Structure 1
């Protein structure tokens, strides 16, 4: 039985992109491309790799937990008391790729972080679309 006081929530954003999974995968895993739409990072597509995202407001400590090339990517996302997991799922579609992002693990006491993620991830995915539109291949 889930106790509402201890239940965690997730932010989910799904978008259809007119690009193949390989192109989106590059944008999710190459640091110079990640920086162009999300944040500066020292990401490497290796299970167990510890990395961070950094921005003007601070940094996020992360660790890669899942790498399934062009299909699924997951990493921990720990910042300002929030311990969550971000999972990217790429599904080929008739028009390109269906991309699903889920950030799971927001506790009831983390309303500000939850609201920030609900606002931030759609904006990041819009920036990702701009990066994909100008990248070749």
Structure 2
């Protein structure tokens, strides 16, 4: 491993959510639900499927890397020079699900993207929890 690999930074957001993994999984993998809390998309939970998230500011090029229904979902997240990976981990708990999102791959010179992702994912989690409460 090169030294540059060790300098990569990661954004992690974790929440205890009072819904079962199956319900959260649907919100993470069904395009119309994803659009409701994250962005417009053409997502399919199929390994190697290439898709885009798009917002008013532009789009993110993605490819599905791992799909383990109700447990793990991982996809690349490439935009504006950022090449990163988003991994969702769902762990059943007594009260519902421990949901963990990790976005890894921020270079040291991508401080603005890193800070934007930290703020953005917290907002997306709020949107997700509101959707789950409604759905």
What TM-score do the two structures reach when normalised by structure 2? 0.96
Name the residue aligned to 1:45: 45
Aligned residue pairs, count: 135
Q: Which residue of 1 aligns with 2:104?
A: 104
Aligned residue for 1:88? Answer: 88
Cα distance 1:75–1:5, how it changes in 2: closer, same or farther (>3 A)? Answer: closer
Gaps of 5+ in 2: none
Aligned residues of 1:48 and 1:64 also touching (Cα < 8 A): yes
SS at match of 2:46: coil
- Deviations 1:85-120, CA, capped at 9 Å, x for gaps: 000000000100000000000000101000000100
Q: How does 1:98-137 map to 2 (within 5 A)?
A: 98-135=98-135
**Partner Cα distance (2:47, 2:119) in 1:** 29
- Aligned position for 2:14: 14
**1:61 counterpart residue number:** 61
> Once superposed, what is the RMSD of the aligned Cα atoms?
1.4
For residues 15-48 of structure 1, give each alpha carbon's deviation from its aligned partner in whole angstroms, at most 9, with x where no partner exists: 0100000000000000000000000000001000
Shift of 1:79: 0.1
